Amino acid sequence: MHSLYILALVASLVFVGNPALAQIAPSVGNTSAAQRASESFNTSVTQFQTPAGTGTILPTDSLPSLIVPAERSAFENFHIKVLQKLPPKFYATGTMETSLRLETNPYQFPTKRTLIKQFLPQPSQMRLLNSFQQGQIYDIIGKASVPNLVMRLLPNVTGGWAFTPNTRATVNYFMIRDQLSHSIVLNTVVHSLSGGIQHDFRIGSKANLLADFQCRELWQLHQQPVFDFLPSLSFSYPLTDRTLMYTNVLMQLRGKGPFVSPNREIDPFYSFGLIHQRNGWFFSASGTLFQAFREPFGKSAIVRQDSYTWIATFEVARRVLKSVPGLQAFARVEPIWNFHSNNTPGLAGMDFRLFTGLRFAAAKKPIGSLVEQIRNDLREDVEAPTSPPPGSNSNGPGAMLIQSSAIADAKQTIHGPLPETQEPEEPSVATASFQSAVSDDEQF
């Protein structure tokens, strides 16, 4: 009885000055309350040891597709000839990325100063704890801002069918595998499978507005599976032939399943960026504001804490081999700022990521609409009238006759035999476009 009384007293002292844990402090004179206090203390420590977030996976990492990879493929791609044997309206893109990065705050903890002020008891209270409890507190504080090396594998495959030049059905799958050199509790594997439809709205001669709606199932190691509805709008405008600017708005409606979503959280993404390519070099800069609204869903939310995150990304990539334009070596930096999270471990603090790695991309574009357009142009050339316009100086038979007499029944000008060798006529614009398209498809 006395030992339980002392344990309840120690637990209540630990909770003093800690708003996050003060609500679980029980009354001291009750034996069952003392047991609950001990269990609550252990639970609270476990919550600090296992952060509320998703470890090393950022919100932008788990999106099925971003405009940056899509626009990058327009600059750097490896066209495989085997893929051209597939149906013309079928398209596919695939990337394989392997990287090693330095991460300064993989736990997404608040600063040590904040943790000490929020979690560390006063010295008079600290000496009442046993060595095991003191070790737990020091271990929690020591996890803040501890750098780590992370190895990542990221295969990403997208396929679909182009119904029209502007409307497509798409399916996407990707996997993320993160392996840390230390803190292996954060090692994770993510699988994402999504499908949806996309439509392009041409704005003028250059700008484009892409409307996209996808449904996605997400599985992550040590996390509950979730289902997302992902509507988005992306606006892109080419400043030059090698420079593209874009902005994107995406809404992530997350829930337990397709018929109850969203019942866990609603997450808007606001992104903008700039892409430039020159002489085998690729440069990109982007920024994303992520907002997670979870508190209105109460117990259904996996983490009952709203949070905001600002993510900036800067990348430089270089083509490795001229004969394989889809193979790139890249370096990328990502500063990350978490705020509006009440210093919740896993959703707080500042993180910095430095990536280096290799990326390979291959693609098969839909060519059905292009071929159909070229055929229409050729048909127009064939159906066009062949008689020369008035005043023209043609060298053909009957060119010098009056137009009214140049008929089949009229006598034609007598000429000698035509020369055996003639210079070939220049092909029409449509024929040249068709030959160019065929030669592009037969690359590699």
Domains of the chain from N-terminus onward: 2-49 (no CATH), 67-109+145-366 (2.40.160.40), 367-384+429-444 (no CATH)
Provide the pLDDT for residue 250: 96
Q: What's the CA gap between 404 and 414, in Å, rounded?
A: 19
CA-nearest of 8, 14, 11 to 124 is 14
Provide the pLDDT for residue 122: 75
Provide the pLDDT for residue 442: 44
Higher-confidence residue of 135 and 292: namely 292
CA-nearest of 262, 268, 246 to 68 is 246
Model pTM? 0.70
Phi, psi of 412 (to 5 degrees): -105, 160
Provide the pLDDT for residue 437: 46
Percentage, residues of the chain above pLDDT 70: 66
Non-local CB neighbours of 340 within 8 Å, separated by 6+ positions? 306, 307, 308
Provide the pLDDT for residue 303: 86
Provide the pLDDT for residue 119: 72
Provide the pLDDT for residue 246: 95
pLDDT, tens digit, for every residue of 207-265? 999 999 999 999 998 888 999 999 999 999 999 999 999 999 999 999 999 888 899 99
Provide the pLDDT for residue 8: 45
Provide the pLDDT for residue 51: 55
Higher-confidence residue of 199 and 435: namely 199
Cβ contacts of 286-292, under 8 Å, gap ≥ 24: 286/68, 286/312, 286/313, 287/311, 287/312, 287/313, 288/60, 288/312, 288/313, 290/59, 290/60, 291/267, 292/59, 292/265, 292/267
Q: Which residue's structure tokens are 């142009």?
A: 377
- 51-55, 225-229, 364-368: which range is least confident on average? 51-55
* Identity of the amino acid at 312: A
pLDDT, tens digit, for every residue of 417-433? 555 555 555 454 444 54
Provide the pLDDT for residue 69: 43
Mean pLDDT value across residues 185-203: 94
125: pLDDT strictly greater than 60: yes
